[in-house]
Amino acid sequence: MKRYKKIGIIILLFTIFNFVNASEYPGAVFLMIWPGARPTGLAGAFSAVADDASAAYYNVGGLGFFSSTHATIMHSNWLPGLYSGMFYDYIGICHPIKNQGTIGANVIYINTGQTEVTDFTGTPLGEYSTFDFAISGNYGFKVNPQLGVGVSAKFIYSFLVPDWVWQAMPELGIEAGGTGVSWAFDAGVLYKPWDFLAVGASFNNIGPNISYTSSSESDPLPRMLRLGVRYTPVDNPTVKLHITPEITKVMVGLFSNNATLADEWQDAWKSFGVEAWFYDLFAARLGYFEDLSGQRGGILVEKDGREEHIGLFEYLFTKNSGNFSNKVGLCFGIGVQYRGFQFDVSNDQLIYDFSTQNYKFSFTYRF
């Protein structure tokens, strides 16, 4: 255990160093998109659940509790209202080794479709496809029957602009640099003191900055801290009910521009999910999400002639918070499982202001 303690101290110090020295805006933002239809239906509140192959993303500490192999694949035509042709995929597998913990691997891939290139005169120069992906290796184990911990390492590749674009447009003054490469690790803890309660925490995307230009300028990875709870007030053969509040803090630019602790709390993502399983066959999910700094989710109100997103508590307990604009940042989904097979569908389009459809489809198998 002394070796594990030393590793933990190294990870903690490296994490603090990265957070304190982060600049204001992250790169590789595709790492912030929720994979998996089931977690999306819960508004991303999954760090204290982490019981399928998407645990490698939300909380690798959950792998310590796996007793069977889990494999999942997800596809989404992501935000077609923003840019047609974009899609987002996730593939993951986790396999327990007797008395040795659980190993896993997963791939995240997003493609934004075809991008047309024109010069300043409007002359077409060609097309290219932008994409990003990350490949991770994961390991989790039980410290004791109630506590699971895990770590993962990932390779990150981001392809934004091919070199021929810079060569065709020398007036930009850039010779190369449309590709970014980096690496990172995640660390997670899942604690289950009782069957009806679990607490999860994870650090994600802790690694060196990613650079896209030849000028050596770089952007920090989207370093994130997740803290979540899973409460199960009902658990019987007919109904199982999970309640999953969670807070996610993007640590990039922490306390920049003289931000206070209250400002950082306001800036954090808040999620609240409810999942009900009926006869262990059919599931219904509902989630609430707010990202006020990103103007996503929350409660949309009209005040002083303009619309803005405010938090649920502000809307309920503050006078003159604005007139409700008939929009709440809700996510929803359903699932069906039978003999190890599970199929899930979710939608989170209501957290965005623009018109779009954003369905995610996941297929999971336990064996």
- Find tokens 């990870």 and name the residue: 11
Per-residue pLDDT for the chain (367 aa), expressed as one digit of tens each?
444 444 444 444 444 444 444 446 778 889 999 999 999 999 999 999 999 999 999 999 999 999 999 999 999 999 888 878 889 999 999 999 988 899 999 999 999 888 777 777 777 777 788 899 999 999 999 999 999 999 999 999 998 877 777 667 776 666 666 788 999 999 999 999 999 999 999 999 999 998 876 555 688 999 999 999 999 999 999 999 999 999 999 988 777 777 788 878 888 999 999 999 999 999 999 999 999 988 899 999 888 888 888 898 888 888 888 888 889 999 999 999 999 999 999 999 999 988 888 999 999 999 8
d(C-alpha 191, C-alpha 47), whole Å: 11
Q: What pLDDT does residue 147 have?
A: 96
pLDDT attached to residue 162? 76
Rounded distance, CA 133 to CA 203, Å?
A: 19
What is the sign, positive or negative, of the torsion defined by CA atoms of 301, 272, 264, 352? negative
Range of the structural domain that residue 316 is part of: 2-366
Question: Structurally, how many domains does the chain consist of?
Answer: 1
Quick check: 72 and 53 in contact, CB under 8 A? yes
Q: What type of residue sits at position 150?
A: G
pLDDT given for residue 193 in this prediction: 96
- Global pTM reads 0.87
Give the strand pairing for 101-118 and 224-235. Answer: unpaired
CB-CB neighbours of 184 under 10 Å = 24
* CATH code, domain with 184: 2.40.160.40
3-class DSSP assignment, residue 249: strand
> If residue 275 lies in a helix (H) or strand (E), which one and from where to where?
strand 269-278
DSSP per position, 300-350: EEEETTEEEEE-HHHHHHSTT--EEEEEE-EEEEEEEEETTEEEEEEE-GG
pLDDT for the residue 118: 76
Side chain identity, residue 221 = L
Q: Could you tell me the CA-to-CA distances from 280 to 28, 73, 94, 276, 331 in Å, in that order?
A: 38, 21, 22, 9, 22
Structure tokens belonging to residue 351: 């957290």
The predicted structure's pLDDT at residue 173? 64
Instruction: Give the neighbor-by-neighbor strand order of the sheet with 323-328.
Output: 306-310, 299-303, 323-328
Q: Tell me what pLDDT residue 82 has.
A: 81
Indicate the length of the chain as a whole number: 367
pLDDT of residue 24: 60
- pLDDT of amino acid 172: 66
DSSP state string for 136-200: EEEEEEEEETTEEEEEEEEEEEEE---HHHHHH-GGG---S--EEEEEEEEEEEEEEEETTEEEE
Q: Tell me, what's the pLDDT at 178?
A: 76
User: Which helix or strand (DSSP H or E) is residue 232 part of?
Assistant: strand 224-235
Predicted pLDDT of residue 123:
76
What distances in angstroms separate CA 358 from CA 33, 73, 86, one per listed residue? Answer: 12, 17, 11
